[in-house]
């Protein structure tokens, strides 16, 4: 089987789209309200630290997947237990994302279609994407990324006559605490979520620089989200933002250009669904790779369809309703994701540093055998 | 086991070989046995008489396949006039080197080779008392003169097109490409047809890996006969189940030469006027030879128009169904009112109406291709008047749907090269639109684009040029940059990527 490779630019676009995939629910700025832009900037600044850890791990062991790396660092047993934990996390978030997409579609337009039909179709499409392989998805993203960006920017421009900049005031009315609280939420979702790209890092082109990949995507994705959240606030104000289920979607509904361009929120939905779809695909790549690694399979393509359909099926039972999803995403997720996004990566990083130092002092012997293992 | 044996026998339809005899009469009998029942098989006896002896010869050929002049002037005439009195018995080598005046003659004793030569239009000269026979090149049949291919007309450009004999096509290419680096590798496919297949490439530009892969794939083909280039293409192309073609076809030698210069490989198949070009990537669907002779602004515009019509032709019916069924609020109110007024009294749901009319359009198109040209008037009356006007007036379909289908058909005619994928994708998207509205269309497009991104043509990703994000490679895709900007050949396809110097145009 030929090794899959995605170029640096494709990786940047993939991770950027992944980061954009948060914009569906009311996740952005639930507490900080009009100061969401500050929370966003703070979270971007803070997440540079944890992202540096991810990049360092990739830099130390390039061309290696997280799973092979875990085997190398902690041995077969402990490594596989950690791999199992990570896979569970990705599986769980994958479920949440599939249920988010299908809930969103059902609520905003197909209200008489049963949820399970939408979930199943979404699952099939994601399964196909995972089956096609990371390389195909990397190429695919380069086609859809410009679409998302063009849609979003044109919506921002079309709504320009309705902006009310006073809605960004008063600045820090409730003090600094809500801002920090939101910044914390925003670190865990979406910036530190990029931890799952450790599982795909083996596919990055040899010449690519992980720091560039992660930081560029964080900056582009971060400013995209900043633009969306500020647009939402200055269009409909904080009060409306907090009561709407999908605020960015609702803002698009307001756009009206003459008598011809009106009610174009579905075009906005295209960018939303595509970005969340990319995010779910990335998570389920991770799950498929994890499962195939745990079962000692050669390739994840075979296992991808059952894994994704299983995830889709479970997503039906995960939440009772969309409100619960939002609640979970805002309140529980940041704490739930803490070990996977911050604790475990730091442990892996420390182990990797030690291993790399040892490898260097043994004149690269360990490293080469380790790489051989990884290749096998 | 038994079944398989029979299969091998039927595929492997080679006539039995035999061991050629020394005596002229005996070997003649052998050949007559093989060609029994073929009345065009001709045997010409003649002899060279000198003072002391008479040496007998016999010429075998198939009537209609040979040029009689060649037989007369280069074989029969010289042999009859030669005086063999000095030699004891003239061997095949002597006759080839001293008597026969044809440019191509060789000796052989392999019965298979001799039979193949006769069948191909060469003639075989049998000698008395010799185990060897002589194959003399004498092919002479009519072929049409190169004319501009109907399917690939250009506004500006050469008016020549490929013809059927493989070597004529090679000469059409070679006349435009005077370099010894132009290589031609001939292979034979088909146990019965023995079709010649020629790989044409430029050594030093073409990628050897692709070439070796191609040779391997062609060697694997075991079939009784290849009649069309398309049959060979199905055997050797990647993603064989995909509706997208990963091997291109062209009937124009100038297009073939341009492809060769980009590092692609041309496969000529004897007996078809189509050449296969590979690797073939998605952007080639939207390129036309005219793009390079017309102004670059205009070419870019027409290319964008082709890409737009590709999207329109697969999306228009799906969007109509989705908007009318699920998302009426997106249609401007006044427009929606008029569509609704047109739909009043129509008994079918939008999806049935649309798919039904699309089917009617496809039937009309297929009928138009297959039928006699004198029936064209009848078809257009039937299509336009009966199906169009009458159906609308009888309130069986709405006028809007006819407009949508007409737009679909028109844009589809513009992108003829991608016909197969378009028909499949259009039906797929329309069904999905009826099922899930715009989200169905979005999912459908995601699946289609993912599929296009995942397939390859001889190891080269199908969407490489669109998805590489490299300005160098985007210059000849959706836009057509001025020729002097196209400094490099496509990645992976060509080994040597530089194609012009920086000085080729002073700016």
Q: Kindly report, residue by residue over B136-179, the tens digit of the pLDDT.
A: 988 887 778 888 888 888 888 888 899 988 989 999 999 999 99
- Place B88 in a pLDDT band, splitting at 50, 70 and 90: low
Write out the two tokens for B470. Answer: 């490299």
Asked whether residue B304 carries a pLDDT value surpassing 80, the answer given is yes
pLDDT value of position B4: 46
Residue-wise pLDDT tens digits, B187-236? 999 888 889 999 999 998 999 999 999 999 999 988 888 889 989 999 99
Q: In Å, how far is A259's CA from the nearest CA of chain B? A: 7
Q: In Å, how far is B96's CA from the nearest CA of chain A? A: 54
pLDDT: is A1 or B26 the higher one?
B26
Contact with chain A for residue B447, Cβ under 8 A: yes
Q: pTM for the whole thing?
A: 0.89
Which one of B447, B453, B469 has the shortest CB-CB distance to A125?
Answer: B447
What value does the mean pLDDT take over residues A228-245? 83
pLDDT value of position A366: 47
Q: Select the highest-mean-pLDDT range: A357-361, B101-105, B433-437, B499-503.
A: B433-437
**Euclidean distance between CA atoms B385 and B393, whole angstroms:** 11
Q: In Å, how far is B302's CA from the nearest CA of chain A? A: 21
Q: C-alpha A93: how far from its chain's center?
A: 10
Asked whether residue B5 carries a pLDDT value surpassing 70, the answer given is no
Asked whether residue B257 carries a pLDDT value surpassing 90, the answer given is yes
Q: In Å, how far is B294's CA from the nearest CA of chain A? A: 28
What value does the mean pLDDT take over residues B62-91? 82
User: Residue A330 CB: number of other CB atoms within 10 A?
Assistant: 18
pLDDT: is B387 or B169 the higher one?
B169
Contact with chain B for residue A10, Cβ under 8 A: yes
What value does the mean pLDDT take over residues B299-307? 92
Q: Which of residues 296-315 of A touch B (CB under 8 A)?
A: none
pLDDT value of position B1: 42
Going A305 to A336 to A321 to A270, the CA torsion angle's sign is negative
Contact with chain A for residue B325, Cβ under 8 A: no
pLDDT value of position B506: 66
Residue-wise pLDDT tens digits, A82-130? 999 999 999 999 998 998 888 889 888 888 889 899 999 999 999 999 9
pLDDT value of position B172: 92
Which one of A132, A144, A266 has the shortest CB-CB distance to B438?
Answer: A266
Contact yes or no for A109 and B327 at CB 8 A: yes
Asked whether residue B3 carries a pLDDT value surpassing 50, the answer given is no
Contact with chain A for residue B469, Cβ under 8 A: yes
pLDDT value of position B291: 87
Q: What is the ipTM of this complex?
A: 0.92
What value does the mean pLDDT take over residues A281-288? 94
- Closest by Cα among A161, A168, A189, A321 to A232: A168
pLDDT value of position B131: 83
**In this structure, what are the phi and psi dihedrals at residue A96, rounded to the nearest 5 degrees?**
-60, -40
* Domains of chain A listed by start with CATH number: 8-370 (1.20.1740.10)
Q: Which of residues 220-279 of A touch B (CB under 8 A)?
A: 259-260, 262-264, 266, 269-270, 273-274, 277
Distance set, CA A158 to CA A152, A226, A230, A248 (Å): 10, 18, 15, 14
What value does the mean pLDDT take over residues B243-252? 92
Q: In Å, how far is B146's CA from the nearest CA of chain A? A: 41
Contact with chain A for residue B337, Cβ under 8 A: no
Q: In Å, how far is A134's CA from the nearest CA of chain B? A: 9
Contact yes or no for A277 and B446 at CB 8 A: yes
Q: Tokens 């892969």 — which residue?
A: B213
What value does the mean pLDDT take over residues A201-223? 92
Rg (chain A; Cα; Å): 21
Contact with chain B for residue A116, Cβ under 8 A: no
pLDDT value of position A367: 47
Lowest mean pLDDT of A35-39, B28-32, B234-238, B503-507, name the range: B503-507
What value does the mean pLDDT take over residues B458-463? 90
Range list of β-strands (E), B308-462: 456-457, 460-461
What value does the mean pLDDT take over residues B466-495? 82
Contact with chain A for residue B456, Cβ under 8 A: no
pLDDT value of position A362: 65
B210 touches B459 (CB < 8 A): yes
| Residue B374 neighbours by CB under 8 Å, 6+ apart | none
Please report which helix (H) or strand (E) contains residue B27, including its range. helix B24-34
Q: What percent of chain B has pLDDT over 90?
A: 34
pLDDT: is A323 or B88 the higher one?
A323
Contact yes or no for B447 and A7 at CB 8 A: no
Contact with chain A for residue B332, Cβ under 8 A: yes
What value does the mean pLDDT take over residues B338-367? 90
Question: What contacts 24+ positions apart, CB below 8 Å, involve B497-503?
Answer: B499/B261
Which one of B332, B334, B454 has the shortest CB-CB distance to A132?
Answer: B454
A-chain residues near B449 (CB < 8 A)? 140, 143-144
What value does the mean pLDDT take over residues A132-157? 92
Contact yes or no for A270 and B438 at CB 8 A: yes
pLDDT value of position B505: 74
Residue-wise pLDDT tens digits, A6-63? 999 999 999 999 999 875 555 566 777 788 899 999 999 999 999 999 999 999 998 8
Q: In Å, how far is B308's CA from the nearest CA of chain A? A: 15
Write out the two tokens for B469. Answer: 């994000």
Let me know how many helices (H) and strands (E) chain A has, helices first: 15, 2
Locate the chain A residue with the closest alpha carbon to B438. Answer: A266
Which one of A9, A262, A270 has the shortest CB-CB distance to B469?
Answer: A9
Which one of B332, B450, B469 has the shortest CB-CB distance to A132?
Answer: B450
What value does the mean pLDDT take over residues B335-352? 90
Write out the two tokens for A300. Answer: 């994840």
> What is the average pLDDT score of chain B?
86
A75: left (phi over 0), alpha (psi -120 to 50) or beta: left
pLDDT value of position A89: 94
Q: In Å, how far is B331's CA from the nearest CA of chain A? A: 8
Q: Which of B209, B282, B307, B443 to mutate to test the interface with A (most CBs of A within 10 A)?
A: B443
Contact with chain B for residue A4, Cβ under 8 A: no
Which one of A7, A125, A266 has the shortest CB-CB distance to B330?
Answer: A266
Contact yes or no for B330 and A136 at CB 8 A: no
Write out the two tokens for B179. Answer: 């370099």
Asked whether residue B272 carries a pLDDT value surpassing 70, the answer given is yes
Q: Tokens 């061997």 — which residue?
A: B91
Contact yes or no for B439 and A7 at CB 8 A: no
What value does the mean pLDDT take over residues A194-222? 92
* β-sheet bridge partners, residue B44: B59
Q: In Å, how far is B449's CA from the nearest CA of chain A? A: 7
Contact yes or no for B330 and A139 at CB 8 A: no
B408 touches B426 (CB < 8 A): yes
Contact with chain A for residue B329, Cβ under 8 A: yes
Q: Helix or strand or coil: residue A151?
A: helix
A183 touches A16 (CB < 8 A): no
Write out the two tokens for B266. Answer: 């041309």
- Place B471 in a pLDDT band, splitting at 50, 70 and 90: confident
B-chain residues near A16 (CB < 8 A)? none
Locate the chain B residue with the closest alpha carbon to A102. Answer: B439
A-chain residues near B454 (CB < 8 A)? 132-133, 135-136
**Euclidean distance between CA atoms B414 and B405, whole angstroms:** 14
Q: In Å, how far is A148's CA from the nearest CA of chain B? A: 12
Asked whether residue B463 carries a pLDDT value surpassing 70, the answer given is yes
């Amino acid at each position: 089987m030929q090794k899959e490779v995605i170029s640096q630019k494709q990786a940047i676009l993939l991770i950027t789209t992944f980061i954009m995939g948060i914009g569906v629910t009311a996740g952005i700025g639930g507490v900080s309200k009009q100061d969401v832009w500050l929370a966003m900037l703070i979270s971007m600044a803070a997440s540079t630290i944890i992202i540096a850890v991810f990049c360092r791990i990739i830099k130390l062991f390039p061309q290696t997947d997280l799973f092979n790396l875990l085997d190398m660092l902690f041995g077969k047993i402990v490594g596989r237990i950690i791999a199992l934990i990570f896979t569970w996390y990705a599986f769980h978030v994958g479920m949440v994302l599939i249920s988010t997409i299908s809930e969103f579609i059902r609520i905003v337009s197909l209200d008489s279609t049963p949820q399970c039909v939408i979930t199943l179709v979404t699952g099939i499409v994601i399964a196909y994407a995972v089956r096609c392989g990371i390389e195909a998805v990397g190429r695919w993203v380069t086609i859809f990324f410009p679409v998302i960006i063009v849609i979003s920017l044109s919506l921002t421009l079309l709504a320009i006559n309705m902006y009310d900049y006073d809605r960004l005031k008063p600045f820090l009315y409730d003090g600094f605490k809500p801002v920090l609280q939101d910044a914390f939420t925003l670190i865990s979702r979406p910036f530190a979520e990029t931890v799952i790209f450790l599982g795909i890092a083996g596919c990055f082109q040899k010449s690519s620089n992980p720091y560039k990949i992660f930081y560029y995507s964080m900056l582009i994705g971060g400013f995209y989200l900043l633009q969306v959240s500020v647009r939402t606030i200055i269009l409909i104000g904080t009060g409306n933002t907090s009561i709407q289920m999908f605020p960015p979607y609702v803002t698009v509904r307001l756009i009206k250009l003459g008598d011809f361009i009106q009610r174009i929120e579905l075009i906005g939905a295209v960018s939303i669904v595509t970005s969340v779809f990319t995010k779910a695909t990335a998570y389920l790549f991770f799950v498929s790779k994890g499962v195939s690694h745990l079962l000692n399979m050669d390739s994840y393509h075979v296992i991808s369809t059952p894994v994704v359909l299983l995830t889709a099926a479970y997503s039906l039972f995960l939440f009772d309703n969309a409100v619960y999803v939002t609640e979970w995403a805002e309140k529980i997720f940041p704490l739930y994701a803490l070990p996977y996004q911050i604790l475990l990566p730091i442990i892996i990083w420390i182990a990797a540093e030690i291993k790399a130092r040892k490898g260097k002092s043994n004149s690269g012997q360990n490293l080469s055998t380790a790489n051989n293992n990884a290749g096998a | 086991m038994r079944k398989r044996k029979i299969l091998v026998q039927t595929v492997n339809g080679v006539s039995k070989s035999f061991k050629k005899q020394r005596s002229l009469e005996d070997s003649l009998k052998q050949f007559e046995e093989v060609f029994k029942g073929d009345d065009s098989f001709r045997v010409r006896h003649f002899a060279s008489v000198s003072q002391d002896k008479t040496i007998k010869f016999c010429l075998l050929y198939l009537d209609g396949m040979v040029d009689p002049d060649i037989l007369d002037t280069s074989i029969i005439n010289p042999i009859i006039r030669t005086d063999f009195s000095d030699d004891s018995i003239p061997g095949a080598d002597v006759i080839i080197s001293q008597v026969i005046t044809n440019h191509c003659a060789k000796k052989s004793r392999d019965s298979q080779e001799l039979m193949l030569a006769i069948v191909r239009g060469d003639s075989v000269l049998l000698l008395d008392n010799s185990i060897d026979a002589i194959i003399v090149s004498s092919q002479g049949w009519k072929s049409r003169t190169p004319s501009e291919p109907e399917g690939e007309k250009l506004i500006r450009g050469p008016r020549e097109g490929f013809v059927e004999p493989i070597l004529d096509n090679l000469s059409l290419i070679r006349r435009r490409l005077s370099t010894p680096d132009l290589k031609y590798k001939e292979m034979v496919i088909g146990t019965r047809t023995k079709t010649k297949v020629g790989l044409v490439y430029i050594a030093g530009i073409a990628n050897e890996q692709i070439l070796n892969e191609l040779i391997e794939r062609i060697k694997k083909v075991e079939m009784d006969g290849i009649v069309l280039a398309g049959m060979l293409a199905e055997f050797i192309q990647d993603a064989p189940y995909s509706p997208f073609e990963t091997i291109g076809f062209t009937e124009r030698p100038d297009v073939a030469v341009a492809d060769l210069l980009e590092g692609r490989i041309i496969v000529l198949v004897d007996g078809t006027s189509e050449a296969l070009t590979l690797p073939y990537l998605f952007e080639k669907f939207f390129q036309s030879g005219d793009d390079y002779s017309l102004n670059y602004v205009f070419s870019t515009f027409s290319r964008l128009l082709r890409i737009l019509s590709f999207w329109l032709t697969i999306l228009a019916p799906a969007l109509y169904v989705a908007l009318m069924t699920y998302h009426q609020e997106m249609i401007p109110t006044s427009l929606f009112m008029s569509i609704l007024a047109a739909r009043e009294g129509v008994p079918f749901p939008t999806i049935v109406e649309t798919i039904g009319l699309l089917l009617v359009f496809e039937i009309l198109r297929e009928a138009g291709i297959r039928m006699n040209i004198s029936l064209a008037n009848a078809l257009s009356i039937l299509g336009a008047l009966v199906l169009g006007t009458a159906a609308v007036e009888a309130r069986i379909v709405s006028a809007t749907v006819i407009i949508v289908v007409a737009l679909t058909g028109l844009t589809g005619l513009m992108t003829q090269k991608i016909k197969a994928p378009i028909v499949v994708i259009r039906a797929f998207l329309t069904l999905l639109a009826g099922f899930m509205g715009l989200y169905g269309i979005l999912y459908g497009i995601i699946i289609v684009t993912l599929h296009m991104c995942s397939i390859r043509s001889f190891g080269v990703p199908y969407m490489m040029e669109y998805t590489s994000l490299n300005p160098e490679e985007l210059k000849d895709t959706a836009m057509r940059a001025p020729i002097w900007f196209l400094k490099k050949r496509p990645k992976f396809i060509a080994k040597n990527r530089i194609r012009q110097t920086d000085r080729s145009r002073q700016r």
